[in-house]
Every structure is written in structure tokens, then in C-alpha cells.
Amino acid sequence: AELQRARSEKLEALGTLAAGAAHELSTPLATIAVVAKEVQLELAEMPVSDDLKADIALIRTELDRCRHILDQMSTNAGQATGETLADVTSSQLIEEIRSLLDVRLLNRLRIRDRSDNAVIRSPRLVLAQSLRGLIKNAFDASPEGTDVVVLLERTDQHLVMTIRDEGPGMPTEVLVRIGEPFFTTKEPGAGTGLGIFLAKNVIERIDGSLRIESNANDGTTVVVRLVRQQEPEEIAAAGALRGK
């Protein structure tokens, strides 16, 4: 428990740092982006080399990428600045996640909710964004035409969400680096390598866990366990048991 606490304090410090840095960097970055756009527009009217035009286009692409990274880092800001925890039912959580996903992906998302409306206490939006990221990863890895399956179940203590895809899975060299900040195998611009790192951070802060099962060529299964709020009957039953 002591170790757990030290670890969660460390995560919290890291989250605060990341959110602070993201916030500080976003203003100057926005200024640079505006100026870069103006320069590009002016260069377009001038007799300059194609190389120079390509350079300014590259600057703008890379600025976009920086902004994307900062956006993801500040997904964590709600946590760091203490987005309030609220009770959320599994169906509310699913609705929230669905609302964050592209409609084209929704057609290929199979949700099986067997959790009987389990309730969890969480920073609702931040958690939904994190889970959406994991589902998006599953789609990114999925071959055309295959579905992503999300299963929700309840155990004694947890709401368990399992996200399964039929993608290529992860080779060992990827698997060992999973959760490392900025580790990505995606094209520059497509991935930031922060998704799993931040999701794990958010989930562990509310005492949940994230586990990945993957073999090369055999799809990937992501298992997220979230602490379930006990219902009044359960608390009463536990009390009766203790009373014996």
C-alpha cells in the first residue's frame, strides 16, 4: 500500500508537470503557428524556390504535430488540476465514449455490456477520452472490415472493460516499450505515443489497472479494471455477514 501510494504521488507529480508544461507551451506555439501561416501565404506570392516553400510547409506540419501532442498532454490536465470525481454508470461511460468516436468507426464497434450498470467513481470526461484512445488504437490496428469488440463485465470489486481487435498484435519489442511516453510506431503526425501512457496514468489514479495481452499475429486485448462502487444491497449484505 505504501509503494502504491508513493507511485500514485509520483504519477500525480508527473501529471501536474506535464499539464503545466503543455499549458505554458501552448501560447507561444499558437503564436508561432500564426506567423508560420502568414509567412507561407506571403511566400506563395513571391518568386522563391520550391525548396523554401517545402520548408515552410514542413514547419507548419511539425507545428501541427506539436499542438496535437500538447492537446493530448492537457487531456491529463483535468486530472492534475483535480477534475472532480463523479459516479458514472457503465452505460453513461459507453455513451460518453461513443460520442467521442468518429461515426464511421461506430459502425464497426461491437459493445457487449454485461455489467448490469455497474457504477464507478471517476473523472468522467478524462476517463472517457482515455478509453476512447485505447479503442482508437484497436481500430488503427484492425484490418479493413473487421470489428473491434468491447466487453463490459462486473466482478466483485471491479468493472472490467476488455477491448479486443483482430489486428497484427504487438511483437515483443513493441510490447516491452508500451506505456513509455512518446513511444509510437505510427507515422509522424498520426501518433504521439502518449495515448497508453496517459490512459494508464488516469486509470491508476483511480486505483484501476490496465493490462495488455498481445502476441504478434494474434490481435490485441486490452483489459481495463476499474474499481466498482458497492451498491446499497451489497453493503448491507457485507454488513450482515460481518454481523454473524
Separation of alpha carbons 39 and 33, rounded Å: 10
CB 216, min distance to ligand ADP, A: 10
Q: Which is nearer to ligand ADP, 119 or 222 (CB)?
A: 222
Note the residues at the interface with ligand ADP (CB under 6 A).
133, 137-138, 141, 165, 167, 170, 174, 178, 183-186, 191-197, 220
In angstroms, the Cα distances linking 207 to 34, 120, 198, 243 are 42, 11, 14, 28
Q: Which is nearer to ligand ADP, 112 or 237 (CB)?
A: 112
Pairing status of strand 158-165 against strand 220-227: antiparallel
CB 236, min distance to ligand ADP, A: 41
Q: Which is nearer to ligand ADP, 71 or 116 (CB)?
A: 71
Q: Which is nearer to ligand ADP, 62 or 116 (CB)?
A: 62
Q: Which is nearer to ligand ADP, 105 or 178 (CB)?
A: 178
Q: Which is nearer to ligand ADP, 86 or 112 (CB)?
A: 112
> What is the Cα gyration radius of the chain?
21
Q: Which is nearer to ligand ADP, 99 or 185 (CB)?
A: 185
User: Which residue from 103, 107, 99, 155 is spatially nearest to 131, judged by alpha carbons?
Assistant: 99
Q: How many CA atoms lie within 13 A of 166 on its CB side?
A: 10
CB 143, min distance to ligand ADP, A: 11
Residue written as cell 506535464? 18
CB 147, min distance to ligand ADP, A: 13
184 DSSP assignment: -
Separation of alpha carbons 64 and 153, rounded Å: 39
Residues paired with 158 in a beta bridge: 227
CB 222, min distance to ligand ADP, A: 7
Separation of alpha carbons 242 and 244, rounded Å: 5
CB 128, min distance to ligand ADP, A: 15
N- to C-terminal Cα distance for the chain? 29
Q: Taking the C-alpha atoms of 55, 22, 178 and 228 in order, what is their torsion angle to the nearest 10 degrees?
A: -150
Q: Closest residue to ligand ADP, Cβ-based? A: 195
CB 138, min distance to ligand ADP, A: 4
